[in-house]
Amino acid sequence: MDPLMPPPVRRIAVDREPTVAPPRPAANGATPGPASATTRSRSTRLAPGLVRERMRVEGLWLAYGENWVVRDVSLSVRQGEVLAMIGASGSGKTTLLRSLNRLTEVTAGAARSGTITIDAQDIHELEVNELRRRVTMVFQQPNPFPMSIFDNVAYALAERPGRGRRRRRTPELERAVGEALHRAGLYDEVGGDLDRSALRLSGGQQQRLCIARALAAEPEVLLLDEPCSALDPISTATIEDLIVDLRESVAIVIVTHNLQQAFRVADHVAFMHLGELVEYGSSEQVFDRPAKQRTRDYISGAFG
């Protein structure tokens, strides 16, 4: 162990070298993969020409009250890639995610320093609701609104500036809702009856409805905060496939506690520990050749 960098939370056994093999769902019983996809593996990368930077975080510090929960983080979010943020509970990854669409401001006593830009524009100079339409978010718990499936998606669409008020079901609105449900892979399952209450859907369907809702706003960046942690393996597989498919048209940031999931969907990985960005690099680099001892310990399951 590096003597200059003692682990602040838990002392890790030094007598044996941790195994650094990339976690495989088939070999690891802790997180069984879905039956239909026993050999799910790392997603293939898109051509470099399809990748471009959308957001950039530089020297970001975030605090709730007196506690700095994110310390000096710099990274970039690219369209055409999935960025996975991994780390133990309390490492600040969710706070970092929420700062990307300024949802941290909803919490009283939140403070920040550093810059976040979207397409080279400071997000704090944008009108907050405009930013949140460009950077939408899906939460850990599926949280559909208590209204019909159609209205849930239309809610993200209607009354956008420049498009006029659209309360009634115009063909244009119906097409947009249908398209969003298609992109979220939900249309074929519920297509027949969009007037059903969204609360009647299964958990996995509700979460995909939330993704459809987030996509309906036609965002540039989609934030996912542990989107599968409340779901079963089959729903998780469906949503993971969806994430990989979506990255071409929207930049995706996913926070996950599930290392296998990060391994399966991510192109870039950011490992955070106690508010610090310990390691940030391509999925191959972080999982196969981690540079830092702490990263090695975490992905081999020594702590976290």
Partner 1 sequence: MSATGTAAAPPDRILAAGPPGPVISGSRRERTSSWPLADRLGYWLCWVAGVGICLIALGIMVFMFVKGLSYLKLKLFVENPAPEALQAKSGGFLDPIIGTLIVAALGTAIAAPLGVAVATWLTEYRRPSWLARAVESAIEVIAGTPSVVLALFGLLIFSQGFLAFLSQRAANGNVYGRSFFAAGAVMAVLALPLIVASTREALLALPGRLREASYALGRTRATTIRRVLLPSVRPGIATGTVLGMGRIIGDTAIIKILLGVALLNEGVGHIPILSVLRGTGATLTTFVFENSPAGEGNAPQKAYAAAFVLMVMVLLLNALVTWLTTRSGGQRERRTRTWLAARMSGTRG
Give contact residues for partner 1 (rule: CB under 8 A): 101, 103, 106, 129-134, 136-139, 141, 143, 145-147, 155-156, 159, 210, 213-214, 217, 223
**206 vs 300 by CB, closer to partner 1:** 206
**53 vs 218 by CB, closer to partner 1:** 218
**84 vs 210 by CB, closer to partner 1:** 210
Report in angstroms how near the CB of residue 288 gets to partner 1 at its nearest. Answer: 34
Report in angstroms how near the CB of residue 70 gets to partner 1 at its nearest. Answer: 19
Report in angstroms how near the CB of residue 129 gets to partner 1 at its nearest. Answer: 5
Report in angstroms how near the CB of residue 153 gets to partner 1 at its nearest. Answer: 10
**97 vs 274 by CB, closer to partner 1:** 97
**119 vs 284 by CB, closer to partner 1:** 119
Report in angstroms how near the CB of residue 245 gets to partner 1 at its nearest. Answer: 21
How far is 240 from 13, CA to CA, in rounded Å? 34
Report in angstroms how near the CB of residue 201 gets to partner 1 at its nearest. Answer: 15
**85 vs 103 by CB, closer to partner 1:** 103
